[in-house]
Amino acid sequence: MRAAEIKRLAQECGFELAGIARAEPLPNDSHRYLDWVERGLAGAMGYLTDRRAIVRTDPKLLLASARSIICVAKLYNGPEARSTEVTNEMQDAGLGWISRYAWGDDYHHVVRHGLEALTAKLGGDHDYKICVDTAPLLERSYARQAGLGWIGKNTCLINQEIGSWVFLGEILTSLEIQPDSPPPDRCGTCTRCIDACPTQAIAPEGYEIDARRCIPYFTIELHGAAPQELRAAIGQHVFGCDICQDVCPWNSRAPVAQEPAFEPRHFAPPLEELAGFSEDEFRAIFQSSPIQRAKYAGFLRNVAVAMGNSKLEKFREPLQTLAAFPNPLVAEHARWALEQLCPTAASTPS
Ligand code: SF4
Ligand code: SF4
């Protein structure tokens, strides 16, 4: 099948971008990745550092007969304001910030569903493997090879036309398909993402993130305590952080996604409401949302930190309730948050 036909079919399946990469190792990217892991910059994210780190260096370790990778991207941008904008919502310290990608349904299902539809259109006469984010593949690197965009200084894949608010997916296939070529890096002399990062998680020259300083790591991946010295910089973020994408000029004219599953349902909820969820309510409310990944205790930890950072006296009572929580992680962060409201609050229930 010709590459142009595959790209047309990918569009029919709901993907704004599609391209083809060779299913071959990318030695420079693999080296950078393994070096990043080696230097401990992945923190405690075992799925990035265990035996799967080596699998990432060669797509044929995922599918031995792979010759090509069909790379796709699905837009998820919503119409709501960016976390860096000065609007009423942004100035309301009583609201919790949730990363744009988690405002709607879990993208894994949506992207996988689209890739299954695409494989059905390709026909069954080939070996294939569908990958959505969780597979050990250097997906941004292959997306760049497939011409979908360049990897910016904020380490996101950026497309010149639609920006970086995209989910990536891949089909490894035994089909031989004409590959695309990578576009040029268009970051130029810009340093907006590096300058705006509240925790200095991006390397001074860009193109590398220290996950151990990155807000999505503290608020999603980490099961333990957020580092004391970085808690204030977390601000109102209760799940993820978009700042380095919000400030990127290539996102300033990003189109809005048409996918109903990504309609914003969890945009900037009041912190007080989040602090009051029982575990059953947390599960029910975020049932089909990526927010589940933070787990109940991790989410309440995040809410407590955001309440502390708000400095709002109205959060004293809900924080005292969280400080009496049986889970020590939640209780400790709530005690820390109470101290941010007023130093004399350290003697609250524990
Ligand atoms: S996601 Fe937030 S904390 Fe992480 S690098 Fe970007 S701006 Fe910094
Ligand atoms: S903000 Fe500037 S430097 Fe950062 S990714 Fe966007 S264009 Fe590149």
Closest ligand 2 atom, residue 247 Cα? 1
pLDDT, tens digit (0-9, with 9 covering 90-100), for 73-109? 999 998 888 888 866 666 788 999 999 999 999 999 9
Please check the confidence at residue 199 and state whether its pLDDT lies above 50.
yes
The predicted structure's pLDDT at residue 342: 63
Q: Span 335-343, mean pLDDT?
A: 88
Please check the confidence at residue 240 and state whether its pLDDT lies above 60.
yes
Q: Span 311-320, mean pLDDT?
A: 96
Please check the confidence at residue 134 and state whether its pLDDT lies above 80.
no
Please check the confidence at residue 46 and state whether its pLDDT lies above 80.
no
Q: How far is the CA of 197 from the centre of ligand 2 (A)?
A: 12
The predicted structure's pLDDT at residue 13: 97
Portion of the chain with pLDDT greater than 70, in percent: 96
Active site residues: 133
61 within ligand 2 shell (Cβ under 6 A): no
Q: How far is the CA of 161 from the centre of ligand 2 (A)?
A: 14
Please check the confidence at residue 200 and state whether its pLDDT lies above 80.
yes
pLDDT, tens digit (0-9, with 9 covering 90-100), for 59-77? 999 999 999 999 999 999 9
230 within ligand 1 shell (Cβ under 6 A): no
Please check the confidence at residue 330 and state whether its pLDDT lies above 70.
yes
Q: Among all ligands shown, which has an atom nearest to the Cα of 226? A: 1
248 within ligand 2 shell (Cβ under 6 A): yes
The predicted structure's pLDDT at residue 346: 44
pLDDT band at residue 343 using 50, 70 and 90 as cut-offs: low
Q: Span 184-199, mean pLDDT?
A: 98
Q: Span 320-329, mean pLDDT?
A: 96
Q: How far is the CA of 279 from the centre of ligand 1 (A)?
A: 28
pLDDT band at residue 341 using 50, 70 and 90 as cut-offs: very high
The predicted structure's pLDDT at residue 347: 42
Across the chain, what does the average pLDDT equal?
92
Q: Span 180-191, mean pLDDT?
A: 98
pLDDT band at residue 302 using 50, 70 and 90 as cut-offs: very high
3-state secondary structure the chain: CCHHHHHHHHHHCCCCEEEEEECCCCHHHHHHHHHHHHCCCCCCCHHHHCCHHHHCCCHHHCCCCCCEEEEEEEECCCCCCCCCCCCHHHHCCCECEECHHHCCCCHHHHHHHHHHHHHHHHCCCCCEEEECCCCCCCHHHHHHHCCCCEECCCCCEEECCCECCEEEEEEEECCCCCCCCCCCCCCCCCCHHHHHCCCCCECCCCCCECHHHCHHHHHHHCCCCCCHHHHHHHCCEEECCCHHHHCCHHHCCCCCCCCHHHCCCCCCCEHHHHHCCCHHHHHHHCCCCHHHHHCHHHHHHHHHHHHHHHCCHHHHHHHHHHHCCCCHHHHHHHHHHHHHHCHHHHHCCC
